[in-house]
Every structure is written in C-alpha cells, then in structure tokens.
Amino acid sequence: MAPSKIKNFFLRKKAEAKLKLGVAGPGRKLNSDAPPPPSSKASSSKQKDAYVPPKRNELSAEAKAAANAALARFEGKDKKEFNTSLAAIRAQVRKELEAEKKAKDGGGPTEQEGSAEDGTAQEARKDYAVQGVFFRCPMIGDEILPYKEWKGRIKEFLYEQLAADRGLTACLIIYNCNPKDRAEVCIETLSKCIENIINNPTEEKYKKIRMTNRMFCDKIKVCEGSLDFLHAAGFAEIELDGEPHLIWSEDNIDPECSLEVLLEALKAAEPIPVELDRNLQVLLPSQVKRSNLPPDFFRISPEEIKREQQLRTEALEQAQILKTKAMREKEELRTINRYKFSLIRVRFPNGVYLQGTFNVYEKFGQVCEFVQSCLMHESADFALVSPGGLKYDDPDDLDRSLYDLRLVPTVVFNFCYENESKSLTDFLKEELMLLIQSF
C-alpha cells in the first residue's frame, strides 16, 4: 500500500533533517555555497553556458502554474465578446498608448489617474489593483485560494486523515489547528509525558493522567488533536475514584506506530506549507488600476490603516517643517512595515504590463526569475528600470529582499533588453499574451 500524504509529509521532513546534518549521501549541503540564481544580467560566458532554456513552445513550471491559475479565475465570469488574437491585442495596445499620450499632452487625466470615490464595498473592490493574495497547497490539492480559505481546507483535510493515521495526523492537527503559542506549550508538555514513559518504563506514576488536573486542562486538553495523540500513544480513558483518568498501556498503542515514532513526529510537526501564487496577470494600459491594494496585503486591519492615515495627515498639517534624512527614513520604514506583500508590475516597450504578487521578504532575484520565465526569449539579457531611472543591475541586488530595496508595496518597472538582445522586439510568450481579458 502506498504511503499516505501524512506519512509522506513526515518522510520528507526526516529527509530534510538528514540533509541538514550532511548524512543523506553525496550532494550539496544546505550550508554550503549555493550556485548563483539565474540572472538576467549574465555578463560572463560562464553564466550563459550554465543556463539551459526550456523547450521553445513550453511554459516554465512557474509560468504554467500562473497561467492556469489566471485562466481558472476567469472561468465562470460573464465575458464580453473579446478578440483575443495577437494582432487584435497589439492593435488595442497601440490604440490605448496613443490615447494615453494624447491625454497627457492635453493635460487631461488618464484612466489610471482618475480619483477613487467612496462607495459600496463592491465598488471599492473593483477599484483594487488586484483582487487579493492567493496561495497553493500542493499537499492537499491544486486549487488557488486565499490564505483563510486554505486554513479551513487544511483543518478539514487533517480530520479526514485521522482514521487512517491517527497519531501522525494528530501531531499536525495540534500544530495547524491551534494558536501557535498554545500549540507549542501543548507539544512541550506531551513530549515530557511520552519521554517519561520511554525513560522510566517501570514507573507507574508516569502512565496515569488525571483529566481534571489543572496542568492537563490548561496545557493539553485546550488543544485540538491532543487527545487523539494520547489515544494513539496508548492512553485510554478510564474512571477511577469517580474521576476521569487516562491510563497508558503498551497494548493500546496504534499498531503502525511506536512511542519513539510518535515523539519524533510530535517534535517534527510543522505547519502544512502553502505557497504564494504569483496571481500572474497580463494587462493592457487601460486595465492597470491605481495602487489601491486589498486588505490581504496589509499586516494591520483596515480600521488601523485608516486611523494611521488620518493621524499622519493631521501631523503633516500641524508640522510644516523641513524633514531631516533620518526623519524621512523613519517615516518610510513605518509605511513599508504595514505590508506583507508587494505588487510588482513590469511595463514592456509595447505597452503591455506583466503583474505578479511577491512576499516583501522574497529576493529581487526571484522577481527577475519570474519575468524571465514569462519572456519569449528566456535566455535574453534584460534589465528592470525603476520609474526614477534606477537600473537594478548590481549583482548584489539579486540577493536583497524587496523590503531592503524599498520595493514595497507597489512598483512599476520598465523593461528593456540589454547587450546583444537589444535588437529583439518580442517580449512575452504568446500563451501569456492570450491571458489579456476584457474586464
């Protein structure tokens, strides 16, 4: 019988632990020098030789996943008739660029510069630059969902697995279905209970737990999954002297487990990983909305955001003074610390925008890899240039986070080919260009 998803999870964790200790056989240790990430700014022939582009007509894994997710989001929507041929898209882009230039030359506002008006929650949502932050959870399924929905799905998935792998699943329920501080206290207490039995097999006092005991009630019983773990470890509920007790017996341990295995699993338990979905979008100039971000991007609640903005406005009105460099940096940090995610946009010379969502602590190199995976010519040299004309071509920038580079909460880069690639006139892959939709 094939191992269950729960067992596979712990097998992977065990393998990762061995790799960290350098006992997994030949290969690179995690603490050794890692090979440099793919760079769009490969200046030496050595770097170029190391790059192996995918087959011409295939999307990279990340771009394919993002494209499938984008198509899935559009399913079920009422779509207007829209000519998605590449020629029609290019004509539409040219038309919008001409209209944008005409509006700027005439001093009139462009569509993106229109003022945001207060309205209903639905109207406000339409004004968002992106509809939310989405995640994937490969261990459970292929859906693209908000984090809160995944939390519910993860809990539902774990309880479905209890019957098949009660002990191992209970470890994950404790860690994933309770507040972190409560789960850590529970795990520490349960670990001591099991260690006492393993280290003192003849001591009867360690094999009995009074369920009305304050320590048991405050540290173990309050956690989901804790009783399932104890039952899998060999404890059974029995009434003694009018009070409920848990009594341990080796005969009650789940057949496929042992105390040592359960103890190891309890200490190795981690949150079931969810991966940030790039929420890749390819947009016409008219579809690029103002940088009004949804609440998912913030560390703080919408009410706290409004209150902070009001206080800052009042402070600016009351103190019309020249700010020192230190004051400006402090205010800048206070602003970017409000965000968990950053919306990255790349404007191509043909007017099309590529948009993706990143965690603020992801490296700038990951942005370059994302853009590179979407290019028709993936091996071409390119640069991303900030609106102020700053070109991020320093190799050290690749290892710096978006937070460190102050690329939070939104930034629009201008794309340009570099070196021998300057003559290229094609940009995004045709498969991605066809993601442009009418909204």
Q: How far apart are CA 288 and CA 297, in angstroms?
A: 18
Burial of 420 (0-12, 13-18, 19+ CB in 10 A): exposed
Give the single-character DSSP code of 414: E
Q: In this predicted structure, what is the pLDDT of residue 72?
A: 60
Residue 276, helix vs strand vs coil:
strand
Q: How far apart are CA 145 and CA 151, in angstroms?
A: 10
Q: In this predicted structure, what is the pLDDT of residue 428?
A: 92
In terms of C-beta distances under 8 Å and separation of at least 24 residues, what long-range contacts does 387-390 make, across chains too?
387/411, 387/412, 387/414
Q: How far apart are CA 380 and CA 336, in angstroms?
A: 33
Q: How far apart are CA 12 and CA 121, in angstroms?
A: 43
Q: In this predicted structure, what is the pLDDT of residue 370?
A: 95
Q: What string of pLDDT tens digits covers the 439 residues of the chain?
A: 445 778 777 777 767 665 554 544 444 443 445 455 444 444 443 333 333 334 434 555 655 666 666 556 545 444 444 444 556 666 666 666 666 666 666 554 443 333 333 444 455 566 788 888 999 998 888 899 999 999 999 999 999 988 888 889 999 999 999 999 999 999 999 999 999 999 999 999 999 999 999 999 999 999 999 999 999 999 999 998 889 999 999 999 888 788 999 999 999 888 898 999 999 999 888 888 766 787 778 776 666 666 666 666 656 555 545 566 666 666 667 767 888 999 999 999 999 999 999 999 999 999 999 999 999 999 999 999 988 889 887 888 899 999 999 998 899 999 999 998 999 999 999 889 888 864 4
Question: Any idea which residue has 């230190």 for tokens?
Answer: 326
